[in-house]
Amino acid sequence: MTKTRFAPSPTGHLHIGGLRTAVFNYFFAKANNGQFILRIEDTDKERSKDEYTKAILEGLKWCSIEWDDICYQSKRNDIYEKYLNKLFEEGKAYKCYCSKERLEKLKEEQMKNGENPHYDGHCRNLKEQPEDKPYVVRIKLPEEDIDFKDYVHGDMHFSYKEFDDFIIKRSDGSFMYNFTNVVDDIECGITHVIRGDDHLTNTAKQIALYRLFDKNPPEYAHVPMILGEDKTRLSKRHGAKSVLEYKDAGILPEALVNYLIRLGWSYGDKELFNREELIKYFNLENLNKSAAVFNPDKLLWLNAEYIKNMPPDELLSYLSGFLDESCKEYDKEYLKKAVETMQARANTLVELAEGMKFYCKKPDVYEGKGSKKYLKQSVKEPMLFLLEKLESADFSNEESLKEAFELTMKEFDIKMVKIAQPVRIGLTGRSAAPGIYEMLMILGKKESLERIEKVIDVIPNPSS
C-alpha cells in the first residue's frame, strides 16, 4: 500500500511551504488509494510548544488534509532505543567521547589544511570505554557511495567521502533528526517521501541508515523551494503568512490548496481543480524541476474564482465568522440571497462580508465622491416621483419595479443612471453595488422605501 507522511516540527506555526508539502503527500496518497500519516516531530523540548501543535492540526483540518494516523515522536523513545541497540549489537554504531574542545581543534586544523571539516573516527574502535563520561552515538558509515533516483532531480549520487560518522544520539539522550526520521518511516511503512530539495543531503544520510538496518528506503521526490517574486527564498516580506493568517484574511481553504498544489505541479494548462480532480490527476511525474514563485495577486484571483463559483449556502458557512453582528439577526435564506448578489465582486471573504453589510444595516454615511456626483438638486423631484411609484409597486416582481423607474425616466426625460445611482447610494451608501432591482427585491418594500426617503432628505432642494 502507498503510504506518505507529513512531519512538521511544532517549533512554529504552519506556513505555506509546510502546507504545500502536506498537500503533495496527501493527494499522492489518495490518488493511489493509500494512506497519509501525520507525524509531529516534537523532540526539541525547548522549542516545541503545544500551541504550535494545535495550530498545525487546525490548519490542516481547515484545509481538509485529513490524516489516517498520527504519531508524536516524543512518545516513541522506546522504539528509537530498540533500533539503536540493534546497531550496537551489530557493531554499526559506537559511542564517541570526544570533547567539544577536541572537535573544535580538529575542525580548525582541517580547514587550515584545506579540508572539509569532518569527524576523524577517533573513537570508532576504542577498546576501553570511559566510565561516567558524556558521549554521543555515531554510526559507522560504510565506505559505499550512495545512489538513488529522485522523481524531480533524476539520478542522484553522493560519495561516502562527503560524509563522516554522523551523530544519531546527542549527549543529553535525545535522538537526532535523521535517525528518528528513518526509524519512523520504517515503522510506519512509508513508501514515498515528498519534501523540499533542501533535504537532499539528509536523504543521502538516511539511505546510509536504511542500509545499516538492512531495509529498503522509500521512493523520493524532492521539490524545489517556493521563492518570492524577487527569486529569493519565500518569507514574510513576500506576503507569506501562516496558514491560519490566510484563513483570517478571508482566503478559502479550497483556493489555498489549489494554489499551492500548482506551485510545483501542473496538469496541462488547467488552473482550477476540485478535490476529486486532484485525487484523480495528481502524480509525481508532473512535479516541476524549477522553483515556483509565490504570487499573492494570483492567489487572490484564484480565491475570487472560488468565491464566485461556490454555491451561496456553502459560501455562507465560511462567511459566518466575518459577517457584521447585525447580519446575525437575519435568517439563512435572506443572507444566501444577499451573498448571491455580491460573490462575483469580492476577492476575499473579508471583502464579501464588508460588501454585503448594507443588506443587514442601513448605511450611516454616504460615499463622498458618489454623493457629490449624483445627489444633486436636479434629482430631488425625480426621486420623490419614483418614491411615490415604488410605494404602489410589487417588490416581489422585477417588472413592477422596472415600470416605476421607466415611468420616472419618461416623466423627467432622464437616463437610468441619473435615477439609479441616487437610489443605489441610498440603499447601500455607495455608488458601486449590485443591480438595483435585485437589491430592492431582497431588502423588501419597507426597508427600501425608508432608505430612499432618507437619501432624498440629503439631496438639496431645487433653487426657487
Write the CB contacts of 164 (distance below 8 Å, at least 6 apart in sequence): 118, 119, 120, 121, 141
Distance between terminal CA atoms of the chain? 87
57 touches 65 (CB < 8 A): no
30 touches 56 (CB < 8 A): no
β-pairing, 292-293 with 35-40?
unpaired
364 touches 429 (CB < 8 A): yes
Residue 349 to residue 343: CA distance in whole angstroms: 9
Write the CB contacts of 414 (distance below 8 Å, at least 6 apart in sequence): 382, 408
| pLDDT over 70, % of the chain | 100
401 touches 437 (CB < 8 A): yes
| pLDDT over 90, % of the chain | 92
Residue 419 to residue 386: CA distance in whole angstroms: 8
β-pairing, 35-40 with 69-72?
parallel
Write the CB contacts of 338 (distance below 8 Å, at least 6 apart in sequence): 356, 359, 360, 442
Q: What's the pLDDT score for residue 285?
A: 95
Q: What's the pLDDT score for residue 131?
A: 82
How crowded is the C-beta side of 402, counted as CA atoms within 13 Å? Answer: 5
pLDDT, tens digit, for every residue of 121-149?
999 998 888 888 999 999 999 999 999 99
pLDDT, tens digit, for every residue of 66-125?
999 999 999 999 999 999 999 999 999 999 999 999 999 999 999 999 888 999 999 999
β-pairing, 146-150 with 154-158?
antiparallel
Of how many residues is the chain composed?
Answer: 464
- Phi and psi, residue 214, nearest 5°: 60, 45
Taking residues 237-264, what's their average pLDDT? 92
User: Is the pLDDT reported for residue 464 higher than 70?
Assistant: no
Q: Tell me which H or E stretch contains 332.
A: helix 332-342
Secondary structure (DSSP) of 333-350:
HHHHHHHHHHGGG-SSHH
* Cα 138 from chain centre: 38
Residue 105 to residue 90: CA distance in whole angstroms: 31
Using pLDDT thresholds of 50, 70 and 90, give the confidence band for residue 378: very high
- Residues 276/278/280/281 CA torsion (nearest 10 deg): 150
Class of residue 447 by CB neighbours under 10 A (exposed 0-12, middle 13-18, buried 19+): middle
Q: What's the pLDDT score for residue 276?
A: 96
Residue 10 to residue 5: CA distance in whole angstroms: 16
Residue 87 to residue 320: CA distance in whole angstroms: 56
User: Is the pLDDT reported for residue 419 higher than 60?
Assistant: yes
Using pLDDT thresholds of 50, 70 and 90, give the confidence band for residue 241: confident
Q: What's the pLDDT score for residue 263?
A: 95
Q: What's the pLDDT score for residue 229?
A: 86
Taking residues 311-321, what's their average pLDDT? 94
Give me the catalytic one of 161, 236, 328, 361. Answer: 236
How crowded is the C-beta side of 458, counted as CA atoms within 13 Å? Answer: 21
Class of residue 288 by CB neighbours under 10 A (exposed 0-12, middle 13-18, buried 19+): middle
Q: What's the pLDDT score for residue 132?
A: 84
425 touches 431 (CB < 8 A): yes
* 236 catalytic per annotation: yes
Nearest partner of 433 among 372, 357, 324, 376, judged by Cα:
357
Secondary structure (DSSP) of 159-216:
-GGG--S-EEE-TTSPBPHHHHHHHHHHHHT--EEEEEGGGHHHHHHHHHHHHHTT--
User: Is the pLDDT reported for residue 236 higher than 90?
Assistant: no
Nearest partner of 303 among 292, 315, 293, 291, judged by Cα:
315
Write the CB contacts of 192 (distance below 8 Å, at least 6 apart in sequence): 2, 3, 4, 25, 28, 218, 219, 220, 221, 284
Q: What's the pLDDT score for residue 219?
A: 98
